[in-house]
């Protein structure tokens, strides 16, 4: 924690991001002026701490899409690396946004306007051959080290093998290991062209291209790095297109072409096959139906559900050395297929290994990269460990959410998988997503939904234990989940749900009868000239006749919100209840007033505070009073501190900076304030630049304050809940 005592200026507290402040909205809202858009200015930049900043020129969007009302970046950013939409905000001449921190790995994305108009990032030179609109970017890190490029000159080579069948001309990609020499040639590492190599046939599936294994699967990098580590036997890898149930003849043609063109073994002991999705199904059929062809088979999210009981198994005649199954979590369509397949293999007497359920990935290249990394080192050698990968779990039976229309949504499993469902009245929509705080740190992503019968559905997860809020976006119109009874008064389209767990304990309801009470307090506002309402939390055992008045925290909301938000979205009651019962909280009263005022200082001091004192046994001693708020409310708290130093001994601002130092009496603030504590989210919090820029102002004025570093997350409730959790136990203890 940084505690600044005003004795000397402090520099280098945090690195400022590459954005500047353009102006203020209300008190704390800030517009970030994006980078100037030029023909060669990258649309995407990734910071060393793994934040992806997108900045798309509005002029380019207009020229290529026409006028659009929204722009999103679509990519594999969602939970379990699911495809999701990250909304950009129009700021001046660009559409921009920051997402992160992202996990190390490979990401792919495209830019889309108004749901249907997509384009490639022209400033990103990466290519996905099968999907021309996609670009990719790689975030390095220890967990993705095998996906990084091998040092130049140390990797294998990728070649294209073209061959003819009776029907047509086809092609495949071939990775040859470092030092491989062609027939009759000499390799660069002493291979004189005589030794044959084992071969792995890597299938792509009917809905994917062979090039996807390179562009999205990072197969070359994986094999290069595994070979450099000596983690795999020297082998050829042949990547084929297609791989449907009618392509078995094509596989035979490919194998012959490989045998004619390359120095490979032809016996089954040196032949392996694996694939993704339907390619995985083909791999299993090829190995199990004709076990004389392959000794090793791997199915990555394969969709095969049963095999014929032909007695092949691992008997003397058909000694399959390895059959290994892989599946993602319940968002992977192969999950239920794998449940059925394992039962069928058991009935047929076929021995197999199961890599376990990958808890963090579905049916996507993130999972299949891991599958390939696990599978390749098991080929053409003896491997003792046949168990699942670290962190992978057992199959727990089929995953079948309730039938559409049979239960209120969302449907939440104990593992944090959430199924959303719309009402039938939007069945004719063209594009439906669920927009929720499911991105890193609580940022917002839109996950596409699919039409099942007359309802749109999506299963998302696993989500960490926490409090979530969401709404449906139906053809670009926000729609509330009518089946969810929760409500947000200030945001009628939002609904909420809770994923329980230790991480979210302080946000959960305490047992009935053990918590404090939340009551409505109506008062007359002389500023607004109308009756207004505040919500007041009193602690368990609150005694209105106690000799010593209770200390009081005045807790303010942000712009566009109201006095109900701290209970409906901020979970203030749950947080305060738990902290009181845990013994962490000084018994206090918390007043959540209406901060939507043309003159908040007057509203607070002339209306909210007197009304609270007249109805509750609370102190008027400044040392027993605290004031805090989020965003606009944080700016209001700072405004009161500047105008009336010493009125509140404890002051805190969540996602709001100190602002200007003009006319500030630093001595009065220091003398009258026991604690001034500042909070802000990370780079995804749009007030972060102005907040960080305001710290030198406080330093130069000599104001004492505390700043414990950024709270991971955006300008949203995930951050502010954590701020309240941190702040409340600190109050009235000095």
User: Residue 96 has which token pair?
Assistant: 């921009």
Contacts for 542 with CB less than 8 Å, ≥ 6 apart = 516, 517, 550, 587, 589, 617
H-helix segments, 238-291: 248-261, 278-289
Question: Does residue 691 sit in helix, strand or coil?
Answer: helix
Q: By CB neighbour count within 10 A (0-12 exposed, 13-18 middle, 19+ buried), where does 492 fall?
A: exposed
Fill in the DSSP letter of residue 242. B
CB 202 within 8 A of CB 219: yes
Q: What percent of the chain has pLDDT over 90?
A: 84
Fill in the DSSP letter of residue 430. S
pLDDT value of residue 242? 62
Strand 236-240 with 199-203, pairing: parallel
- Provide the CB-side half-sphere exposure for 93 (13 A, CA): 9
pLDDT value of residue 446? 98
The 10s digit of each residue's pLDDT in 454-498 is 999 999 999 999 999 999 999 999 999 999 999 999 999 999 999
Least confident of 180-194, 406-420, 648-662, 665-679: 180-194
Query: Domains of the chain, with CATH numbers?
Result: 34-140 (2.60.40.10), 152-378 (3.40.50.1820), 411-504 (2.60.40.10), 509-730 (3.40.50.1820)
Contacts for 292 with CB less than 8 Å, ≥ 6 apart = 268, 318
pLDDT value of residue 241? 80
pLDDT value of residue 14? 30
Least Cα distance to 427 among 495, 470, 479 occurs for 479
pLDDT value of residue 310? 52
CB 233 within 8 A of CB 269: no
pLDDT value of residue 12? 30
Let me know how long the chain is: 734
Least confident of 39-43, 422-426, 493-497: 39-43
Q: What whole-number distance in Å separates Cα of residue 602 and Cα of residue 606?
A: 5
The 10s digit of each residue's pLDDT in 321-375 is 999 999 999 999 999 999 999 999 999 899 999 999 999 999 999 999 999 999 9
> Can you tell me the mean pLDDT for 149-153?
92
pLDDT value of residue 291? 73
Q: By CB neighbour count within 10 A (0-12 exposed, 13-18 middle, 19+ buried), where does 5 fall?
A: exposed
The 10s digit of each residue's pLDDT in 361-419 is 999 999 999 999 999 999 999 998 899 999 999 999 999 999 988 888 899 999 999 99
**Whether residue 53 has pLDDT greater than 80:** yes
pLDDT value of residue 169? 87
User: Residue 271 has which token pair?
Assistant: 């032949």
The 10s digit of each residue's pLDDT in 493-515 is 999 999 999 999 999 999 999 99
pLDDT value of residue 307? 87
> Can you tell me the mean pLDDT for 652-669?
97
CB 87 within 8 A of CB 7: no
Phi/psi of residue 468, each to 5°?
A: -125, 155
- List C-alpha distances in Å: 215 to 107, 130, 137, 210, 336: 11, 9, 11, 9, 28
- List C-alpha distances in Å: 465 to 410, 502, 723: 15, 7, 17
pLDDT value of residue 106? 98
pLDDT value of residue 187? 54
Give me Rg for the CA atoms of the chain: 30
Q: What whole-number distance in Å separates Cα of residue 477 and Cα of residue 100?
A: 26
> Can you tell me the mean pLDDT for 417-423?
96
pLDDT value of residue 389? 96
pLDDT band at 432 (very low <50, low <70, confident <90, very high): very high
Q: By CB neighbour count within 10 A (0-12 exposed, 13-18 middle, 19+ buried), where does 533 fall?
A: middle
The 10s digit of each residue's pLDDT in 570-594 is 999 999 999 999 999 999 999 999 9
Mean pLDDT of the chain: 91
CB 245 within 8 A of CB 319: no
Q: What whole-number distance in Å separates Cα of residue 452 and Cα of residue 427?
A: 9
CB 587 within 8 A of CB 520: no
Q: What whole-number distance in Å separates Cα of residue 117 and Cα of residue 527?
A: 48
**Whether residue 20 has pLDDT greater than 60:** no
Over the range 72-108, which residues count as b (16 or more CB within 10 Å of their CB) and which as e?
Answer: bbbbbbbbbbbbbbbbbebbeebbbbbbbbbebbbbb
pLDDT value of residue 192? 56
Q: What percent of the chain has pLDDT over 70?
A: 91
pLDDT value of residue 708? 87
Q: Which residue has the tokens 């499993």?
A: 413
Partners of 139 in the β-ladder: 105
Measured between alpha carbons, how far apart are the two ends of the chain, in Å?
17
Partners of 118 in the β-ladder: 112
Contacts for 634 with CB less than 8 Å, ≥ 6 apart = 28, 556, 558, 628, 652, 653, 654, 655, 656, 679
pLDDT value of residue 191? 58
Least Cα distance to 309 among 350, 341, 351, 348 occurs for 348
Contacts for 39 with CB less than 8 Å, ≥ 6 apart = none
pLDDT value of residue 672? 97
Q: Does pTM top 0.85 for this prediction?
A: yes
Q: By CB neighbour count within 10 A (0-12 exposed, 13-18 middle, 19+ buried), where does 376 fall?
A: buried
**Whether residue 90 has pLDDT greater than 50:** yes
H-helix segments, 632-682: 632-643, 666-672
User: 299 vs 195, which has greater pLDDT?
Assistant: 299
Q: What whole-number distance in Å separates Cα of residue 503 and Cα of residue 500?
A: 8
Q: What whole-number distance in Å separates Cα of residue 629 and Cα of residue 639?
A: 11
**Whether residue 29 has pLDDT greater than 90:** no
The 10s digit of each residue's pLDDT in 679-713 is 999 999 999 999 999 999 999 999 999 998 999 99
Least confident of 122-131, 246-255, 290-299, 515-524: 246-255
* Number of CB atoms found within 10 A of residue 69's CB: 9
pLDDT value of residue 193? 59
The distance between the two most distant Cα atoms of the chain, rounded to a whole number of Å, is 100
> Can you tell me the mean pLDDT for 556-579?
98
């Amino acid at each position: 924690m940084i505690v600044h005592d005003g004795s000397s200026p402090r520099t280098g507290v945090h690195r400022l991001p590459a954005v500047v402040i353009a102006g203020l909205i209300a008190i704390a809202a800030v517009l970030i002026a994006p980078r100037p858009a030029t023909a060669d200015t990258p649309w995407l930049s990734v910071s060393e701490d793994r934040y992806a900043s997108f900045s798309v020129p509005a002029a380019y969007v207009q020229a290529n899409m026409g006028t659009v009302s929204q722009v999103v970046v679509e990519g594999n950013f969602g939970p379990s690396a699911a495809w999701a939409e990250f909304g950009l905000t129009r700021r001046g001449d660009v559409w921009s946004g920051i997402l992160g921190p992202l996990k190390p790995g490979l990401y792919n994305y495209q830019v889309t306007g108004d749901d249907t108009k997509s384009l490639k990032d022209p400033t990103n030179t990466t290519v996905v051959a099968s999907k021309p609109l996609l670009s990719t970017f790689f975030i390095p890190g220890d967990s993705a080290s095998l996906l990084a490029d091998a040092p130049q000159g140390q990797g294998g080579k990728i070649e294209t093998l073209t061959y003819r069948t009776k029907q047509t001309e086809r092609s495949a990609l071939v990775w040859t290991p470092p030092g491989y020499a062609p027939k009759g040639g000499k390799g660069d590492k002493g291979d004189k062209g005589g030794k044959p190599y084992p071969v792995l046939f890597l299938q792509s599936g009917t809905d994917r291209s062979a090039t996807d294994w390179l562009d999205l699967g990072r197969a070359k990098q994986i094999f290069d790095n595994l070979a450099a580590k000596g983690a795999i036997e020297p082998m050829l890898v042949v990547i084929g297109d297609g791989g449907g149930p009618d392509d078995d003849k094509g596989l035979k043609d490919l194998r012959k072409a490989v045998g004619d063109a390359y120095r490979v073994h032809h016996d089954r002991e040196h032949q392996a096959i694996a694939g993704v999705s339907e390619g995985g199904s083909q791999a299993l059929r090829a190995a199990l139906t004709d076990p004389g062809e392959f000794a090793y088979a791997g199915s990555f999210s394969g969709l095969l559900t049963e095999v014929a009981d032909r007695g092949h198994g691992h008997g003397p005649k058909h000694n399959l050395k390895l059959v290994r199954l892989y599946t993602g979590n319940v968002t992977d369509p192969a999950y239920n297929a794998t449940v059925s397949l394992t039962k069928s293999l058991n009935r047929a007497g076929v021995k197999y290994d199961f890599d376990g359920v990958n808890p963090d990935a579905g049916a996507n290249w993130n999972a299949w990269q891991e599958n390939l990394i696990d599978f390749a080192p098991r080929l053409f050698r003896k491997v003792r460990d046949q168990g699942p990968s670290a962190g992978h779990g057992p199959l727990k039976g089929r995953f079948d959410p309730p039938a559409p229309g049979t239960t209120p949504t969302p449907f939440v499993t104990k593992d944090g998988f959430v199924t959303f469902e719309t009402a039938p009245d939007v069945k004719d929509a063209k594009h439906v997503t669920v927009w929720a705080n499911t991105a890193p740190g609580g940022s917002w992503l839109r996950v596409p939904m699919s039409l099942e019968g007359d309802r749109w559905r999506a299963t998302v997860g696993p989500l960490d234990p926490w409090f979530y809020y969401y709404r449906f976006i139906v053809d670009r119109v926000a729609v509330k989940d009518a089946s969810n009874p929760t409500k947000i008064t200030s945001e009628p389209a939002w609904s909420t749900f809770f994923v329980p767990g230790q991480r979210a304990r302080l946000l959960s309801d305490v047992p009935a009868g053990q918590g404090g009470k939340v009551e409505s307090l109506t008062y007359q506002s002389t500023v607004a000239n109308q009756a207004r309402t505040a919500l007041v939390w009193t602690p368990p055992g609150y005694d209105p006749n106690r000799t010593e008045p209770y200390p009081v925290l005045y807790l303010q909301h942000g712009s566009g919100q109201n006095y109900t938000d701290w209970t409906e979205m901020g979970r203030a009651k749950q947080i305060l209840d738990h902290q009181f019962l845990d013994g962490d909280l000084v018994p206090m009263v918390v007043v959540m007033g209406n901060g939507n005022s043309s003159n908040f200082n007057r509203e607070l001091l002339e209306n909210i505070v007197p009304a609270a004192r007249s109805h509750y046994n609370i102190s008027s001693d400044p040392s027993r009073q605290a004031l805090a708020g989020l965003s606009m409310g944080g700016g209001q708290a700072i405004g009161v501190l500047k105008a009336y130093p010493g009125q509140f001994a404890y002051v805190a601002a969540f996602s709001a900076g100190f602002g200007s130092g003009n006319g500030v009496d630093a001595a009065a603030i220091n003398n009258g304030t026991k604690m001034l504590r500042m909070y802000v989210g990370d780079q995804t919090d749009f007030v972060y630049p102005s907040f960080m820029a305001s710290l030198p102002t406080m330093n130069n004025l000599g104001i004492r304050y505390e700043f414990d570093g950024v709270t991971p997350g955006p300008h949203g409730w995930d951050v502010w809940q954590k701020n309240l959790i941190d702040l409340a136990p600190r109050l009235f203890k000095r």
